[in-house]
Structures are given as C-alpha cells and as structure tokens.
A and B are shown apart, each in its own frame.
Chain A
Amino acid sequence: GQQVMQIPQYQHVQEGEDFTTYCNSSTTLSNIQWYKQRPGGHPVFLIQLVKSGEVKKQKRLTFQFGEAKKNSSLHITATQTTDVGTYFCADSGGSNYKLTFGKGTLLTVNP
C-alpha cells in the first residue's frame, strides 16, 4: 500500500532557528494533510495541500507540495517553544478519506 516517509525522525533546535520536515513517497500523493501533535495530545489539523507545486503559509509556517506530487515539506521560521511537538504528514490516497500517516518528526526547541 501507499507509504509515506518522513525525515528527519527527530530535530532539536535552539529557539529562533528554522526547522524543516520532509514527506516523501515513491508514488504520487493525492492530497497531503499536515498535523501537529503536542506531547501527550492528539493530532491537530494544520493544512491540506491539493495542487502540484502548491505553497501555503500560516504565519511562520510554510507548506509546500512538490511539482510531481511525490513530496511535501513544512518549514517553520524562527521556532518558538510553542512549536514543540510531532509533525505528521498524511496522504488521503485515492479514497479521499483514509489517511496514511508518516511516522512524524519530533521537534524539540531549546529556549
């Protein structure tokens, strides 16, 4: 079945540094959704990317969908301690409902 690979698995940064997590697939992704899960919490929807080459921004967060729709990235500018958590990408596949999640990238921020 569809596999979504995320790198890195862990990332530790100093507050104020930038952070990027990457989501890759060997097959074409349908729609990519990004979620954030705080430690001990539940996944919270951040954004959905649908179109090839799409770029969306939410304040310090920038989301990109690759031209070939085989990769996506989430970039955080000037990290803050509130950014701590695990960031997951998920592909809806052709079903538009069954999400296949990556393993996530755990971000820790040193104040």
Chain B
Amino acid sequence: GAGVSQTPSNKVTEKGKYVELRCDPISGHTALYWYRQSLGQGPEFLIYFQGTGAADDSGLPNDRFFAVRPEGSVSTLKIQRTERGDSAVYLCASSRQGHGTEAFFGQGTRLTVV
C-alpha cells in the first residue's frame, strides 16, 4: 500500500480482556516500530523490529505486552489482561532501515479500556 496501515482504527475493550493491534508497514521497509501516545504527550517507544526479530523491546511496559512480526512484514501488538492505564493511541511506523532514515507513521489505533 501507499502508507503504513493500522487496524482497527479504534478499539474499545473491557478491562481484563485481550487485544491485538495490527500494523501493515510500507512494502520493502525492513524496520518496524511500535510507539504509544497518550493525550498531550509525545510518542513513547515500545519495540523495534529489524526484519522478523525484535531488535529492541526495552520500551514494552511489562510482560502483558508482546509483539510479533513472523514474516518480516505485518506486525501484531498483543496486550493481555488490559488495564485502564493501557488506553492510548498505539502508533506503528516503518522505515527502510533503522531510524537513521525517515520513519513513516500509520494513523494509529486508539485503544480505550473501560
């Protein structure tokens, strides 16, 4: 596609439920990132993939968060036992290589935990 695609655009879930957020990066981009953005804040780094492997997952807040990219393209961010504090916009970005090159962000998934 022309840009980074994220689905769903909005997700409302009950506290304690499991959610999956999907990211479809720009074709040919080997680097993929997940960020989380709360209201009035800048994006906060969660995890970085280079190809299929998670090169850096140091930003994941705890073990309820997990992300995969099994074929080096589409990535899924998985959140178990959601909490109200997980409510935020989850942004995915991709770039040709690492962040030394321009990162292209998707429109984000707005997650609301009620």
Contact = CB atoms under 8 A, between A and B. Distances in A.
Nearest to B102: A45
Interface stretch (B14-22, B40-48, B60-68, B76-84): B40-48
Interface in B68-114: 91, 93, 98-100, 102-108
A96 B35 CA distance: 16
Nearest to A4: B42
Nearest to A9: B40
B42 to A, nearest CB: 3
A53 B71 CA distance: 41
Interface size range on A against B: 20 to 34
Interface size range on B against A: 20 to 34
Interface stretch (A58-66, A68-76, A100-108): A100-108
A103 B40 contact: yes
A110 to B, nearest CB: 21
Contacts of A111: none
A97 B91 CA distance: 15
B24 to A, nearest CB: 14
A52 interface: no
A44 B33 CA distance: 15
A92 B100 contact: yes
A96 to B, nearest CB: 5
A103 B41 contact: yes
B104 A45 contact: yes
Contact of B105 (A44, A95, A97): A44
Interface of A: 31, 33, 41-45, 48, 88, 90, 92, 95-104
26 contacts: A31-B100, A33-B99, A42-B91, A42-B105, A42-B106, A42-B108, A45-B104, A48-B102, A88-B43, A90-B43, A92-B100, A95-B56, A95-B98, A96-B99, A97-B31, A97-B33, A97-B50, A97-B56, A97-B98, A98-B56, A99-B35, A99-B99, A99-B103, A101-B43, A103-B41, A103-B42
